[in-house]
Amino acid sequence: MNFDLSEKQALMRKLFREFAEKEVKPLAAEIDEEERFPIENVKKMAEIGMMGIPFESKYGGSDGDNLSYILAVEELSKVCATTGVILSAHTSLCCNPIYTYGTEEQKMKYLVPLAKGEKLGAFGLTEPNAGSDAAMQQTTAIKEGDYYKINGSKIFITNGGYADIYIIFAMTDKQKGTRGISAFIVEKDMEGFSIGKIEKKLGIHGSSTAELIFKDLYVPKENLLGQEGKGFGIAMSTLDGGRIGIAAQAIGIAQGALNETIKYVKERKQFSRPIAAFQNTQFVIADLQTKIDAARLLVYRAAYLKDTNQSYTSEAAMAKLFAAEVAMETTTKAVQLHGGYGYTRDYPVERMFRDAKITEIYEGTSEIQRLVISNKLLK
Ligand code: CAA
Ligand code: FAD
């Protein structure tokens, strides 16, 4: 394994870092405070080709690889975790399954505008009774002539209120358990589709987290993604990739919080010296950077395995598990090193602390990552 970025990856990271610093960072506190979806960030990301990084240009993408896309989520999340997850859900959870399982017609019709950033994507698996136990799907899709009639609902869907294209999972045959689940491409304007409750959350305030409601939603049979009954496998393998994206979000949040802290401890004086002069401060920041670097290596390894077509289910779960815990530890200690100021909204570590928590919950909780890792070890 090569630990260096290629010239192209390094150039892309430079572009993403500059973009994040110049365009995204200045808005981060405002969108958090106003709980506002940053549509302007999405438009700007589209302009510089960030909405389809790992896909070929014939599908509207930027001819990059997964590691480059991961670098984008990391750089965005250093300054704004909301913008990081918008890109992650769009790319990993909507574009990627169409790229992997879609027909050529589906790719031309849906992936091209998604990867160009003309359209925004989302992924609907979770239901009120199907969270960690994703197999407990209750939404149904009944074949009627040239259509599937979908009834049911999804909750907690990222990009939910703003997406144009949704990957939706539903039961086409309830008798068959996970083998009776199918995946569909749903457009926001299809009759019978509506947006329900928008969640108010602890963190990632700018990210839209919505309920989706399907009432006699007729989806053309051409919009079945992959084969009927193969939807659960599509969901699981899509989440394998998505978990690397969330792990990148977590290391971004952690590095962002540590960078802010290093700046702060050199400026803040107590007992007539900068608090950076205390050995406790030095040891805390040394430990945190060591853990962030370890997490980053796990994340890049998982992306590398995906890029080289090797299996990466367990490695993606390890990356997400570890990076999310490092994000929580780093942001907690970052607030501590800021003292009372870190508890106020005058400093970004307060927001980063709130944003970090979700990385231990979505795309499979930390407990579910442990299940995925141990299942492989014990099988
Ligand atoms: N790739 C492909 N297929 C897979 C797979 C994978 N990684 N993992 C399992 N499968 C297949 C199995 O091979 C099996 O197939 P067969 O029936 O053909 O043998 C089938 O799926 C069922 O497998 P399991 O019996 O292992 O499934 P399970 O019901 O025990 O569930 C689980 C396993 C890992 C707990 C799974 O339910 C899970 O991942 N839960 C967490 C849900 C989750 O992560 N949700 C995230 C929603 S999206 C989100 O959160 C987005 C966001 O925030 C931005
Ligand atoms: P539960 O499954 O009820 O879990 C509750 C607790 O029980 C957790 O600690 C869990 O780890 C534990 N637990 C459950 N089962 C086990 C077990 N077998 N062993 C040990 N512990 C267990 N979903 C989508 O489909 N698309 C999205 O875009 C999306 N975005 C989201 C955005 C946000 C902000 C949030 C909050 C959620 C989002 N989700 C999305 C849903 C998310 O993936 C689920 O919330 C998550 O998978 C956990 O499911 P749950 O909330 O039902 O918790």
Q: Identify the three-state secondary structure at position 237.
A: helix
pLDDT tens across 225-261, in order?
A: 999 999 999 999 999 999 999 999 999 999 999 999 9
> Other CB atoms closer than 10 Å to residue 183's CB: what's the count?
29
- pTM equals 0.98
CB of 163 sitting under 6 A from ligand 2: no
Best residue among 365, 370, 373 to mutate for probing ligand 2's pocket (most ligand atoms within 8 Å of CB) is 365
What pLDDT, in 10s, does the model give residues 85-115?
Answer: 999 999 999 999 999 999 999 999 999 999 9
Per the listing, tokens 């499979």 go with: 364
* Average pLDDT estimate for 210-226: 98
Q: With a 6 A CB cut-off, is 179 part of the ligand 1 pocket?
A: yes
Neighbours of 212 (CB within 10 A): 27
Q: At what angle do helices 81-88 and 66-79 cross, to 10 degrees?
A: 150
pLDDT of residue 3: 85
Name every residue whose Cβ is closer than 8 Å to that of residue 29 and which is 6 or more positions away in sequence.
345, 348, 351
Task: Give the chain's mean pLDDT.
Answer: 98
Q: Is residue 362 lining ligand 2, measured as CB closer than 6 Å?
A: yes
The CATH number, out of the four listed (3.30.750.24, 1.10.540.10, 2.60.40.10, 3.10.310.10), of the domain defined by the range 7-119: 1.10.540.10
| Nearest atom (ligand 2) to Cα of 366 | 11
Nearest-CA residue for ligand 2 atom 5 is: 132
With a 6 A CB cut-off, is 233 part of the ligand 2 pocket?
A: no
Say which CATH topology domain 122-231 has. Answer: Butyryl-CoA Dehydrogenase, subunit A; domain 2 (2.40.110)
**239 alpha carbon to ligand 1 midpoint, in Å?**
8
- Which residues are catalytically annotated? 363
Looking at CATH, the fold of the domain delimited by 240-378 is given as: Butyryl-CoA Dehydrogenase, subunit A; domain 3 (1.20.140)
User: What does the domain layout of the chain look like in residue ranges?
Assistant: 7-119, 122-231, 240-378
Q: What is the mean pLDDT of residues 268-287?
A: 98
**Domain 122-231 and domain 240-378 have a common topology:** no
Confidence band for 1, pLDDT divided at 50, 70 and 90: low
Point out the ligand 1 atom lying closest to the alpha carbon of residue 372: 34
User: Whose Cα sits closest to atom 21 in ligand 2?
Assistant: 367
E strand or H helix that includes residue 149: strand 147-158
Q: Measure the CA angle with vertex 320, ends 241 and 198; round to 5°.
A: 80
- pLDDT tens digits, residue range 56-80? 999 999 999 999 999 999 999 999 9
Q: What six digits make up the tokens of 203?
A: 């963190």
Atom of ligand 1 nearest to the CA of 125: 47
CA of 349 to the centre of ligand 2 (A): 25
The reply to whether ligand 1 has any atom less than 6 angstroms from the CB of 227 is no
